[in-house]
Amino acid sequence: MTDTTVEPTPSTPAPLLEVDNLITRFPIRAGLFQRTIGHVHAVEDVSIHVAPKETVGIVGESGCGKTTFGRSLLRLVEPTSGSVRFDGRDVIAAGGKEMKRLRREMQIVFQDPYASLNPRMPVHDIISEPLRIHGTGKKEARQKASDFLAAVGLLPEHGNRYPHEFSGGQRQRIGIARAMALQPKLIILDEPVSALDVSIQAQVINLLEDLQEQFDLTYLFIAHDLSVVRHISDRVVVMYLGRLAEVADRNAVYDRPAHPYTASLLSAVPIPDPDLEGKRQRIMLQGDIPSPASPPSGCRFRTRCPIAVERCATEEPQLAEVEAGHQVACHFPLAAGETLVERVRSMGRTLDLLDGRSVAST
């Protein structure tokens, strides 16, 4: 195993995870001979580099490809093309043995803590199973399982119980302990708190933050809840229909979104503050998310975009920097400080706002 020696470059350490031009498509089969009649474009040309100990949040709505992206990195689904390098090693080209070694260091925590734990196994065995698979002796595996049980805030006696005896929050702790058992460097967290009750979500988020601090973990945090992602992430990636819409530091994405989709998405999130909700100008996006089996031509967001023009239908925007570290795939990104409502007004268009009023053209 390679050791985590600090790279000599102090400002930008070598990325732990380098994803370049990743494409994952699923064939659509139909007919008597199950011929492939098309593809679902789940992940289209996604490139992201993740630094050690960084938390990168991946947000987007259903069908945006965020879950497939996470699974493609571990090759739980095979990517169609592109490159994934972990700690300098080629994940896509790795054979069975190498892949097994890689998966020691790249783990995943799933959304549904009810479906992802074997109901017939006591918790001790659930946590120590990955260790056993990777050749740790029975006694040592048991000891480590106890250690990680404690690390996620469960009691030693919980080890002998079965998953059904636990609440949702506790089960997610067990899932996290299992992912931690092999002492990975990277954990892909796929909607880790969205199945949990509100009062429990904060417990699990705090636990994840503590574990990261304690074990120098790198997180890829996949979620649809923008408030949770803002809280936990250093950098945020916004996906729409398989493509990256915007990538930036957390504050840049939330304080000065440049992509009209990011701006609309943020605006749609309700904030638990009645006075604020009363005066916010919330943008209402029209229409549904198109099917990833037949994405719109040009910019994929154009069918719902309030500022789309002809060029958006013919030319696909490429990810480009609008400021250092802030990339946007839009022909007409919003300037820092410019709101989407202002832009729409300046174009003389109307826009539906969520309080039922409509912005008149100016």
Partner 1 sequence: MAAPLLEVEDLTVSFPVKNGEVTAVRGVSFEVHRGETLAIVGESGSGKSVSVMALMGLLPDDTRIGGRATFDGMELLALDKKRLREVRGRRISMIFQDPMTAFNPVFTIGDQIAEAMLVHDLATKAEARTRVIELLELVGVPSPKQRADQYPHEYSGGMRQRAMIAMAIANKPDLMIADEPTTALDVTIQAQVMEVLADIQREVGAALILITHDLGVVAGVADRVNVMYGGKVFEKAETRKLFYSSKNPYTRGLLESLPRLDAEEGARLVPIPGSPPSLMAMPAGCAFAPRCTHKVDICAERSAELIDIGLDHQTRCHLAHDLPAWEPDRAETPA
The single residue among 1, 198, 324, 360 that binds partner 1, judged by CB under 8 A, is 198
Indicate the residue among 65 and 130 with the shorter CB distance to partner 1.
65
Q: Which stretch, 73-81, 111-119, 228-236, 308-316, contacts partner 1 (CB under 8 A)?
A: 228-236
Indicate the residue among 19 and 64 with the shorter CB distance to partner 1.
64
Map tokens 């490429």 to a residue.
318
Indicate the residue among 197 and 321 with the shorter CB distance to partner 1.
197
**Integer distance in angstroms from the first to the last C-alpha of the chain?**
63
The answer to whether 62 contacts partner 1 (rule: CB under 8 A) is: yes
The answer to whether 276 contacts partner 1 (rule: CB under 8 A) is: yes
The single residue among 23, 77, 150, 289 that binds partner 1, judged by CB under 8 A, is 289
The answer to whether 359 contacts partner 1 (rule: CB under 8 A) is: no
Q: Which stretch, 99-107, 109-117, 179-187, 279-287, contacts partner 1 (CB under 8 A)?
A: 279-287
The single residue among 8, 10, 95, 272 that binds partner 1, judged by CB under 8 A, is 272
The answer to whether 233 contacts partner 1 (rule: CB under 8 A) is: no
The single residue among 47, 83, 203, 350 that binds partner 1, judged by CB under 8 A, is 203
Map tokens 């089960």 to a residue.
171
Indicate the residue among 22 and 248 with the shorter CB distance to partner 1.
248
Count of residues interacting with partner 1 (CB under 8 A): 49
Rounded CA gap, 246 and 233, in Å?
A: 14
Indicate the residue among 98 and 197 with the shorter CB distance to partner 1.
197
Indicate the residue among 40 and 74 with the shorter CB distance to partner 1.
40
Indicate the residue among 140 and 197 with the shorter CB distance to partner 1.
197
Could you say which residues in the range 291-310 bind partner 1, by CB under 8 A? 304
The single residue among 75, 85, 161, 280 that binds partner 1, judged by CB under 8 A, is 280
Rounded CA gap, 132 and 139, in Å?
A: 10
Min dist. Cβ of residue 281 to partner 1 (A): 7
3-state secondary structure the chain: CCCCCCCCCCCCCCCCEEEEEEEEEEEEEECCCCEEEEEEEEEEEEEEEECCCCEEEEECCCCCCHHHHHHHHCCCCCCCEEEEEECCEECCCCCHHHHHHHHHHEEEECCCCCCCCCCCCCHHHHHHHHHHHCCCCHHHHHHHHHHHHHHCCCCHHHHHCCHHHCCHHHHHHHHHHHHHCCCCCEEEEECCCCCCCHHHHHHHHHHHHHHHHHHCCEEEEEECCHHHHHHHCCEEEEEECCEEEEEEEHHHHHHCCCCHHHHHHHHHCCCCCHHHHHHCCCECCCCCCCCCCCCCCCCCCCCCCCCCCHHHHHCCCCCEEEECCEEECCCCCCCCCCCHHHHHHHCCCCEEECCCCEECCC
Indicate the residue among 135 and 272 with the shorter CB distance to partner 1.
272
Q: Which stretch, 107-115, 116-124, 226-234, 330-338, contacts partner 1 (CB under 8 A)?
A: 226-234
Q: Which residues bind partner 1 (CB under 8 A)?
A: 61-62, 167-170, 197-203, 205-206, 209, 224, 226-228, 230-231, 251, 254, 264-277, 279-282, 284-285, 288-289, 304, 354, 356
